[in-house]
Chain A
């Protein structure tokens, strides 16, 4: 049962990813990414990480993607021309992609981590619950928590600065 779910979600994720990079229209790419994100949420659930899955759906697929949709609608987006100005790019990119995949897989699979070959240890019932995450955030990872909130503040200010209309533009 779990395998079926896994492969289905995996296919969804992969399909979404391929759609992102292959679609001509950026709007379609955004939609493909949304599919990808949902599939990933399913994979998180398979890994008994409920909170992360929920956060993925609500924050990522919900807020961030909505932002994307708004911007794509505002900016529009046509296709791109077929001609590639950088010589060799079209040829090297898939090559490097494959090389990257192979290397990363080899690095992980040939490591001496024995636990990789199993489905993971038996965990308690509250593994992956918001309570557990919350406790970790406020106890052990307080500093990253606070730092990322500052980062959020910076990003918000930055967005306002970038988006503000200049005087000349208004006139």
Chain B
């Protein structure tokens, strides 16, 4: 059983699961559908492990296999195969995606139980996993774009899952449109690559690129910038990030899977995969690094003031992905991927725990109303704290090792890149503060009414269903959330999933302790061979200094949060008053939505209105009606010949005869 065989199976199982559940939604009972969904991803994970084992049997230099099923398009100089490329990077992504997805499917098994669209949910979720796997396993740019587009569609379908909610459908459209903007960039980059290098295949492109391009030639910079447009749209970096907070309209497992662990990491994967191109265009790489840094900081400021629990975690995602983008742009490839993995663990966990709390609050997501869940929901709180510790990079957790590795690399690279280190630590401080802001607002203190109800009766709070964003009443039919809310304490699948992730969040970092074992770095090394940047390694001293600083910052941040939200609860309000302009800026999300509305949406609508008024009404309608009028007029004229008068028919007859005779006379003379 070769590596490629297992890789194809990895793609097959989620697709099969999606199709079976999708087609059999009437026949399959709920539990069976959920089981099929989860097991198919589990099988994919198992095949991923098998592929990994197979791959490790090869020599490190030979650990890349390309395999194709058939020729997709072989015409006019194009030679596109339906091919996958299996190397340590793709296997790494496969394992992360399928592993976290299996757990999230397990979580959804319990969480979505009372939803009318249960089958649809699992079908979409499986399709999403298939698309993501297609994206990471693709062996050429065309298949990458196919996977990219599928992922965008799956995201749209899942964000607007409760499709009768207008806010949800609007959020889905927003996400899709911004994704399409990214797709345009990606497709244009692919065109340019084909034009310059003559192929779409990864192997050929990465081999030829250093020969064809000189460093920072404008073509390669253009290619990389276009790739970045795609990456930023997918990974919600500035300025194409406005869709991510709105995407929280989707069910919590969706936020957990797509908008924390997998889809938003596609941009990071893209940059890592095409690192050869980015190393040839340092300008573009630097642009990416600065955008990542900017996103990191801006998103952290927004997360500091968000009062919606899920949105706060979404901004945290944006910020952490900023770290990853920054990492892979400056050359810290393995570190960036490592952070991707640990982030997947703790962010998915945070979303799951948040989902549990929101369910207990009868779908209310406002943290101002939440308190005292520490007592009401023991299990959820413990896992929530685990996730927050990892996010804040508390010493010993997985986040601790991964985040600081990126910053240490930036330091080792030196020069301008020290900015990244310094500002990266500033961001880390903000991260620690906002993550524990959430913890200290929601968990300790006097239980709020919903929590009280939970403690006393064990019943989850129940309210007349209404849209949390607009407050309008809803019902619980298909297209709306189901009537029941499921919390972790009452659902075994949810608990299992969260427990596994909590464990991984805490100890997952131990595979990459500097100097002791560097499993990830060694595993991913063959992918970046030949890259001068990847060869830069921070010294052990730099590593441990970084870890030390990071640990201190994390504890300081947690301390600040404790101070502000537990010991002196009036302080936040005082700070708010004093820094009112800043606070308004942060709460209004730095006015990005308004800017985009002004710069893009309104002109587009104006163009559309103009096109309708002038072009459509006058030109097109004029053409059509004009043609119709002309034909009708002509018909009217011709109809006059058939007037019913026999004598006029006789006239025409004789006139015709006279004409013919004339013609023959003239032509024969």
CB within 8 Å: A-B pair count: 31
Q: Which residues of A contact B655 (CB under 8 A)?
A: 92, 96
Kindly state whether residue B645 has any CB partner on chain A within 8 Å.
yes
Kindly state whether residue A107 has any CB partner on chain B within 8 Å.
yes
Knowing A103-B662, A106-B665 touch, does A86 contact B643 (C-beta < 8 A)?
Answer: yes
Knowing A86-B643, A99-B658, A103-B658 touch, does A92 contact B665 (C-beta < 8 A)?
Answer: no
Q: Which residues of A contact B661 (CB under 8 A)?
A: 100, 103-104, 107
Which A77-111 residues have C-beta < 8 A from chain B?
85-86, 89, 92-93, 96, 99-100, 103-104, 106-107, 110
| B633-663 to A contact mask, C-beta < 8 Å, 1/0 | 0000000000101011001001101100110
Knowing A85-B645, A93-B651 touch, does A100 contact B669 (C-beta < 8 A)?
Answer: no
Min distance, Cβ A17 to any Cβ of chain B, angstroms: 16
Min distance, Cβ A36 to any Cβ of chain B, angstroms: 21
Knowing A92-B655, A96-B655 touch, does A86 contact B645 (C-beta < 8 A)?
Answer: yes
Distance in angstroms between the alpha carbons of A86 and B649 in the assembled complex: 11
Q: Find out whether the CB atom of A96 lies under 8 angstroms from the CB atom of B648.
A: no
Chain A residue nearest to B658 (CB atoms) is A99
Knowing A96-B658, A100-B654, A100-B658 touch, does A107 contact B647 (C-beta < 8 A)?
Answer: no
Q: Which residues of B contact A93 (CB under 8 A)?
A: 651
Min distance, Cβ B659 to any Cβ of chain A, angstroms: 9
Q: Find out whether the CB atom of B651 lies under 8 angstroms from the CB atom of A92.
A: yes
Q: Find out whether the CB atom of B647 lies under 8 angstroms from the CB atom of A89.
A: yes
Knowing A96-B654, A96-B658, A103-B658 touch, does A89 contact B665 (C-beta < 8 A)?
Answer: no
Q: Which residues of A contact B665 (CB under 8 A)?
A: 103, 106-107
Q: Which residues of B contact A86 (CB under 8 A)?
A: 643, 645, 647-648, 651
Min distance, Cβ B79 to any Cβ of chain A, angstroms: 73
Chain B residue nearest to A103 (CB atoms) is B661
Min distance, Cβ B430 to any Cβ of chain A, angstroms: 93
Chain A residue nearest to B654 (CB atoms) is A96
Q: Which residues of B contact A89 (CB under 8 A)?
A: 647-648, 651
| A100-132 to B contact mask, C-beta < 8 Å, 1/0 | 100110110010000000000000000000000
Min distance, Cβ B654 to any Cβ of chain A, angstroms: 5
Min distance, Cβ B605 to any Cβ of chain A, angstroms: 57
Min distance, Cβ B223 to any Cβ of chain A, angstroms: 76
Distance in angstroms between the alpha carbons of A103 and B651 in the assembled complex: 17
Distance in angstroms between the alpha carbons of A110 and B658 in the assembled complex: 17
Chain A residue nearest to B648 (CB atoms) is A86
Q: Which residues of B contact A99 (CB under 8 A)?
A: 658, 662
Chain B residue nearest to A98 (CB atoms) is B658
Min distance, Cβ B604 to any Cβ of chain A, angstroms: 58
Q: Which residues of B contact A96 (CB under 8 A)?
A: 651, 654-655, 658
Min distance, Cβ A84 to any Cβ of chain B, angstroms: 9
Chain B residue nearest to A85 (CB atoms) is B645
Q: Which residues of A contact B651 (CB under 8 A)?
A: 86, 89, 92-93, 96
Min distance, Cβ A49 to any Cβ of chain B, angstroms: 27
Distance in angstroms between the alpha carbons of A96 and B650 in the assembled complex: 11
Q: Which 7 A-B pairs have the closest CB atoms?
A: A103-B661, A99-B658, A86-B648, A86-B645, A96-B654, A100-B658, A96-B655
User: Measuring CB to CB, which residues of chain A are less than 8 angstroms from any residue of chain B?
Assistant: 85-86, 89, 92-93, 96, 99-100, 103-104, 106-107, 110
Can you offer 18 A-B residue contacts whose CB atoms are under 8 A?
Answer: A86-B643, A86-B645, A86-B647, A86-B648, A86-B651, A89-B651, A92-B651, A92-B655, A93-B651, A96-B658, A99-B662, A100-B654, A100-B657, A100-B661, A103-B658, A106-B665, A107-B661, A110-B669
Given pairs A96-B658, A100-B654, 12 additional interface contacts (CB within 8 A): A86-B647, A86-B648, A86-B651, A89-B651, A92-B651, A93-B651, A99-B658, A103-B662, A104-B661, A106-B665, A107-B665, A110-B669
